[in-house]
């Protein structure tokens, strides 16, 4: 256990050093403490994080220091950019960017800064106290599970808040600029709006958007409802597709060359997939390929978008994100940034360590009822938690030598003379 826990701490230290590069020494220490404390406690509450650090000072002093640093942390963009640099080489033309929004509900809270009104996604209730959250996660050749690339918590009570669509465009702009228009953006029906179709076509970005049955399209020179167009088509291809619990469904495909009333001069492709439910699934894309490969690739790209739902659940349930207790919106955003980076660490641990003994030890300690699922983030987080909660020491001894200079000024002269206490100076 001692060897394994030290290896875990060392991995967190190395990852923290990379994402906090070029920041001040106190904030490098702070980032390391927060990442480790969240792993050790499986919580975002500062009191739980402070207990996990096991410092030899009073608990309230540790909590106050973490709270102060979280609110005064001004290098969030630098931390985010350092993190992006760690995953940038994994992004290519076939990367799937899963785009979706969520919420953090705080039903009984009254003291949180700029508390807005949100729709509770789990219950469907409207006008609940809380914050909105927008996320983009990537599924790459090396990361089959979603790895976060953009995350932002915002409030509709902010002075300069425009709309949820504006926040979405801001996130898409960030990913577009950072990754040089690479990848395929996969979006659900909530983003079936002319604004997003125009955005993707303007910047020549590949996209797959699932459409609502109320949308109109132009097919063979006639403007009609998209559902009517889908039902008129005959299935051209079929395939067997695995869903949950290894069950299989027979899906039937067809495709149409269409245009949208808002973009009459741009030809897009409507993929119609029958077999998932009573109504066909309708996906609009601008991906070009031969017909059969195109339809299967588009469906696969959209199906992988569903993994972001598991990502949201993991982030909220495993670390109890909705139970955050910091009050200022700046602290909430910084806390979310650090948690997002921690999920990135778990993603690296998952993909890069599956052949390592350390990965096997961690997942063995996760106390799974059944075998480890493909979405193994839960098993990794719980295994590390079960491992670290038995440690008697924190991490102070690991970063102490990094905070200080390699040699203090008092030892410079002795180092020069290769110090020997019995040496005679002349």
pLDDT tens string, the chain, 426 residues long: the values are 788 899 999 999 999 999 999 999 999 999 999 999 999 999 999 999 999 999 999 999 999 999 999 999 888 999 999 999 999 999 999 899 999 999 999 998 888 999 999 998 888 899 999 999 999 999 988 887 899 999 999 999 999 999 999 999 999 999 999 999 999 999 999 999 999 999 999 999 999 999 999 999 999 889 999 999 998 888 888 888 776 667 788 888 888 999 999 999 999 999 999 888 888 999 999 987 665 677 777 888 888 888 888 899 999 999 999 999 998 999 999 999 999 999 999 999 988 766 678 888 888 888 776 777 778 899 999 999 999 988 888 898 887 655 444 444 444 444 444 444 444 444
Contacting residues for 87 by C-beta, under 8 A, at least 6 apart? 138, 143, 147, 149, 344
Q: Say which residues have a Cβ less than 8 Å from residue 343's Cβ, sequence separation at least 6.
A: 147, 148, 311, 314, 315, 377
The whole-angstrom separation of Cα 369 and Cα 391 is 25
Predicted TM-score (pTM) of the model is: 0.89
How far apart are alpha carbons 17 and 29 in whole angstroms? 9
């Amino acid at each position: 256990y001692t060897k394994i826990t030290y290896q875990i701490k060392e991995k967190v230290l190395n990852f923290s050093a990379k994402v906090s590069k070029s920041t001040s020494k106190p904030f490098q220490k702070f980032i390391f403490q927060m990442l480790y404390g969240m792993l050790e406690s499986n919580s975002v509450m500062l009191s739980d994080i402070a207990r996990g650090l096991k410092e030899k000072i009073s608990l309230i002093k540790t909590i106050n220091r973490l709270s102060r640093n979280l609110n005064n942390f001004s290098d969030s963009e630098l931390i985010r950019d350092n993190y992006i640099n760690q995953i940038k080489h994994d992004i290519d033309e076939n990367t799937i960017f899963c785009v979706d929004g969520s919420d953090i509900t705080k039903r009984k809270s009254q003291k949180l800064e700029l508390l807005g009104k949100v729709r509770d996604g789990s219950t469907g209730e409207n006008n609940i106290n809380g914050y909105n959250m927008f996320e983009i996660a990537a599924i790459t050749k090396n990361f089959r599970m979603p790895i976060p690339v953009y995350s932002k918590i915002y409030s509709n009570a902010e002075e300069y808040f425009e709309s949820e669509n504006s926040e979405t465009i801001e996130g898409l702009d960030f990913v577009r600029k950072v990754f040089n228009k690479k990848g395929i953006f996969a979006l659900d029906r909530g983003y079936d709006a002319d604004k997003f179709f125009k955005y993707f076509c303007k910047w020549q970005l590949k996209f797959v958007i699932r459409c609502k049955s109320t949308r109109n399209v132009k097919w063979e020179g006639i403007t009609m409802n998209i559902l009517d167009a889908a039902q008129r088509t005959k299935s051209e291809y079929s395939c067997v597709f695995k869903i949950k619990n290894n069950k299989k469904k027979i899906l039937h495909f067809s495709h149409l060359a269409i245009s949208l009333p808002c973009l009459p001069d741009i030809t897009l492709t409507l993929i119609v997939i029958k077999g998932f439910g009573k109504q066909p699934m309708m996906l609009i894309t601008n991906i070009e390929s031969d017909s059969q490969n195109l339809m299967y690739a588009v469906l696969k790209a959209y199906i992988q978008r569903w993994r972001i739902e598991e990502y949201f659940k993991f982030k909220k349930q495993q670390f109890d994100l909705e139970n955050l207790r910091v009050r200022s919106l700046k602290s909430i955003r910084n806390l979310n940034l650090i948690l997002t980076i921690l999920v990135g660490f778990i993603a690296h641990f998952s993909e890069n360590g599956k052949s390592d003994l350390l990965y096997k030890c961690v997942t063995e300690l996760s106390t799974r009822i059944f075998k480890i699922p493909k979405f193994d983030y839960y098993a990794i987080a719980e295994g590390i938690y079960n491992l670290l909660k038995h440690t008697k020491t924190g991490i102070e001894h690991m970063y102490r030598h990094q905070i200080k200079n390699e040699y203090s000024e008092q030892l410079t002269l002795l180092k020069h003379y290769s110090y020997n206490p019995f040496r005679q100076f002349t």
